[in-house]
Amino acid sequence: MKLLKSISKSLTLALAATALCLGAQARTFDEVKKDGKIIIATEGQFAPFNYFQGAKLTGFEVEVAEAVAAKMGVKVEWKALSFDALLTGLRQDRWDMVIASHGITEERAKAVTFTEPHYCSGGVIVAKDPAIHAAKDLSGKVISVQTGTTYLENVKKVSNVKEIKNFPQDTDARAALASGRVDAWVTDRFVAKQALDANPGSGMKIGDFLFIERIASAVAKGNTSLAAEVNKALAAIQADGSYAAISKKWFNEDIRCK
Ligand code: ARG
């Protein structure tokens, strides 16, 4: 009797745990579709990809995601959070998708499911001193990067770097270079280009690529139904000219992966 009781007790516990897990499960495409809206999280501090113009969230990725959602027949509910919260929140099923210029890496792919890439780019070396433009020039230097990024991972691989200064936002990593607190800043090539165009007097120069990467959205690990629909919609906007138009508008070129 005692045994039976304890068995039934553990069964109840197991069932409750299962229910909890199910309750927190990622929404399938059908569930998103039924709801009429997809919840997408981004950072909003990474111009020209995702940023705020006053109170309005905008940027290349915001427009691409809106176009993808429109093809899927749903509206977007945007969330803006710090970069380091984005993939974590996805794992807790607090939103359906993340679009924030994440490079596809093996490490991240263990935790989330990436869609097809929506652009290709890479990390570049930005410095004021024209003598600092290649990876070997980082030897003995202090470098700024945004925390949790592939820029950090790749600067770590460069030998003899004196110090890597981490900043929660890429804009702070840029400010560190602007004010001379670091020797170089490693960031996305398009972000660097936009920052230099916006500040022609800053004295910053764009050097070599440190690495290249494929940038994609992410959904919860194993949410294949949603990933498949996003991929279909992305392929559709890349085929019908709307992706090209958005890309031209922001970059004057088509930045899709070739
Ligand atoms: N591409 C880099 C990475 O994958 C940086 C992404 C930064 N994104 C942002 N919204 N600040 O880590």
On whether both 187 and 238 belong to a single domain, the answer is no
Answer whether 46 contacts ligand 1 (Cβ < 6 A): yes
Closest ligand 1 atom number to CA of residue 105: 4
How far apart, in whole angstroms, are the C-alpha atoms of residue 121 and residue 190? 8
CA 176 to chain centre: 22
Q: Which residues pair with 203 in a beta bridge?
A: none
| Same domain, yes or no: 195 and 228 | no
* Closest ligand 1 atom to Cα of 169: 11
Co-location of 173 and 90 in the same domain: no
User: Domain check: are 33 and 107 in the same one?
Assistant: yes
Question: Would you say residue 9 lies in a domain?
Answer: no
User: SS3 for 131?
Assistant: coil
Tell me if 171 sits within 8 A of 144, measured CB to CB: no
- Would the pLDDT of 172 be above 50? yes
How far apart (Å, rounded) are the C-alpha atoms in residues 12 and 8? 6
Which residue segment(s) compose the domain that 139 sits in?
A: 122-213
- Domain assignment present for residue 7? The answer is no
Residue 142 lies in a domain: yes
> Is 247 found in the same domain as 169?
no
Q: Taking Cα atoms as reference points, which of 106, 122, 89, 121 lies closest to residue 219?
A: 89
Q: What is the pLDDT of residue 19?
A: 46
Give yes or no: residues 72 and 151 share one domain: no
Tell me whether residue 173 is in a domain: yes
Q: How far is CA 21 from CA 11, 24, 220, in A?
A: 15, 5, 14
Number of domains in the chain: 2
pLDDT for position 14:
57
Ligand 1 midpoint to CA 77 (Å) = 21
CB count in 10 Å sphere of residue 33: 17
Instruction: Report whether residue 113 contacts ligand 1, using a CB cutoff of 6 Å.
Output: no
Residues 209 and 219 in one domain: no
- Report yes or no on 257 lying in a domain: no
**What's the pLDDT at 11?**
56
- Atom 11 of ligand 1, residue of closest alpha carbon: 46
Would the pTM of this model clear 0.85, i.e. be above it?
yes
DSSP at 199: -
Residues 139 and 177 placed together within one structural domain of the fold: yes
CB burial of residue 223 (10 Å; 0-12, 13-18, 19+): buried
* Residues 136-154: tens digit of each pLDDT: 999 999 999 999 999 999 9
Q: Do 170 and 114 sit in the same domain of this protein?
A: no
**Residue 25: band (very low, low, confident or very high) from pLDDT cuts 50, 70, 90:** confident
pLDDT in tens, 54-86: 999 999 999 999 999 999 999 999 999 999 999
Q: Is 3 within the bounds of a domain? A: no
What DSSP string runs through 66-130?
HHHHHHHT-EEEEEE--HHHHHHHHHTTSSSEEEEEEE--HHHHTTEEEEEEEEEEEEEEEESST
Flag whether 52 is in a domain.
yes
pLDDT tens-place string over residues 84-130: 999 999 999 999 999 999 999 999 999 999 999 999 999 999 999 99
In a domain, 15, yes or no: no
Same domain, 42 and 170: no
Residue nearest to atom 12 of ligand 1 (CA): 149
**How far is the C-alpha of 49 from the C-alpha of 53, rounded, in Å?**
12
Enumerate residues 6+ apart whose C-beta is below 8 A from 215: 101, 102, 103, 104, 117, 118, 119, 120, 121
Q: Is 101 in the pocket of ligand 1 (CB under 6 A)?
A: yes
102 and 58 assigned to the same domain? yes
What's the CATH code of the domain at 172? 3.40.190.10
Q: Are residues 107 and 81 in the same domain?
A: yes
Look-up: residue for tokens 């560190």?
176
